[in-house]
Amino acid sequence: MVLDYLKQYVLSCGAQYVGEVSCSVLIKEEINKKAEEVGIALVRAVEKREGFPEQTQAINSHRKYFAQIIEARKEEWPEKYQYYKDKGWL
């Protein structure tokens, strides 16, 4: 459940992820191997500027949702409104 929550939070912040790893308090060798694999995947994704279309779609969906909120509260949040406007998201 924690990983699912973190993935949704990361997407709502406009970032992407390459994998996941979790463990209990006792770290086993298989977890270390999985963590290393995720780290290698991250390095490759950064080097290749790899994108993940399904995640990009989710990010854009979140952005549209937040744009509606920011538009409605532009008087209360002028900095956020200007930021979204400057980015072309409004």
So where are the chain's domains? 1-16+52-90, 19-50
Provide the token pair at 80. 């956020």
* Residue 37: partners with Cβ closer than 8 Å, 6 or more residues away: 19
Provide the token pair at 52. 């993940």
**30 confidence band (pLDDT: 50, 70, 90):** confident
Compute the 3-state secondary structure of the chain and give helix, strand, coil in percent, each to the nearest 5.
Answer: 65, 0, 35
Average pLDDT over residues 8-20: 93
In angstroms, the CA 41 to CA 16 distance is 12
Say which DSSP state 67 is in. H
**25 confidence band (pLDDT: 50, 70, 90):** confident
What pLDDT does 1 receive? 86
What pLDDT does 22 receive? 85
pTM for the whole thing? Answer: 0.73
